[in-house]
Amino acid sequence: MGSEEVKVVSFWVSPFGKRVEWALKLKGIEYEYIEEDIFNKSNLLLQLNPVYKKVPVLVHAHKPIAESFIILQYIDEIWKQYPLLPQHPYQRALVHFWADFGERKLLDTSWVAMCSSGDDKEEALKVAREAMEKIEEEIKGKKFFGGDNIGYLDLALGWISYWLPVFEEVGSMQIMDPLKFPATTAWITNFLSHPVIKDNLPPRDNMLVYFHSRRKALSSSFQGWFKV
């Protein structure tokens, strides 16, 4: 079942897509990468993900799977080597809880803060910084959220290590204060030092150009909630 053809349809700067690629690489699974233009969507994407029309999509054995968290779980169930999720159902539930928390309370709010100004920005920053405090508590005393190795939650929150500093620079704001969040800062160093992660990141300069242009496009109308 696991030996069938694997394809990843993604967009070069997508933090959601990178999660999927990191997971496949950690497990040593070969895949074909297909770059999608999310501003001019291909028929392939519309066929593979007709509901959300978003990347990433994993195609395994000719069957498409959408939504990065669902894809991560699928990958972990199909390829057993290098387990990403803990064994115990309670520990697994906690991982899903924190992954969802990071998405709603930190990723969405950081994005809004980057794209907005005034009260909207302040409100989003407040929620994002409170979320960072909770994440700091979770990583204290651990090398990775997954323990000694990178796990599902590390991949889910991995964008904090590399995308968040770019959002901060583009939005002229600070969310991840290293003095306030030393455990998260140490985790970032550990995460970015892992060969699979450090060799699979988009070029920072291109990210800055891209996110500056997204901010410009979205800030006037403040429709910042969607298109990373």
Minimum distance, C-beta of residue 224 to ligand GSH, in the bound complex (Å): 12
Regarding 18 and contact with ligand GSH (CB under 6 A), the answer is: no
Alpha helices in the chain (DSSP H): 15-26, 43-48, 68-78, 89-101, 108-115, 118-139, 152-157, 159-170, 182-193, 195-198, 204-219
Binding residues among 94-133 for ligand GSH as defined by CB under 6 A: none
What is d(CA 81, CA 101) in angstroms, rounded to the nearest whole number? 27
- Among the listed ranges 51-59, 77-85, 133-141, 193-201, the one in contact with ligand GSH (CB under 6 A) is 51-59
Regarding 55 and contact with ligand GSH (CB under 6 A), the answer is: yes
Choice between 40 and 220, CB closer to ligand GSH: 40
Looking at 6, 14, 22, 167, which residue binds ligand GSH (CB under 6 A)?
14
Instruction: Give the binding-site size for ligand GSH (rule: CB under 6 A).
Output: 14
- Among the listed ranges 66-74, 78-86, 116-124, 143-151, the one in contact with ligand GSH (CB under 6 A) is 66-74
Regarding 54 and contact with ligand GSH (CB under 6 A), the answer is: yes
DSSP bridge pairs for 60 = 6, 63
Question: Which residues contact residue 31 at a Cβ distance below 8 angstroms, ignoring those fewer than 6 apart?
Answer: 6, 7, 8, 21, 24
Regarding 228 and contact with ligand GSH (CB under 6 A), the answer is: yes
What is d(CA 153, CA 172) in angstroms, rounded to the nearest whole number? 27
Regarding 38 and contact with ligand GSH (CB under 6 A), the answer is: yes
And the tokens for 133? 């405090």
Regarding 73 and contact with ligand GSH (CB under 6 A), the answer is: no
What is d(CA 185, CA 85) in angstroms, rounded to the nearest whole number? 23
Regarding 51 and contact with ligand GSH (CB under 6 A), the answer is: no
Q: How far is CA 47 from CA 52, 190, 195, in A?
A: 11, 38, 34
Binding interface with ligand GSH (CB under 6 A): 11, 14, 16, 38, 53-56, 67-69, 226-228
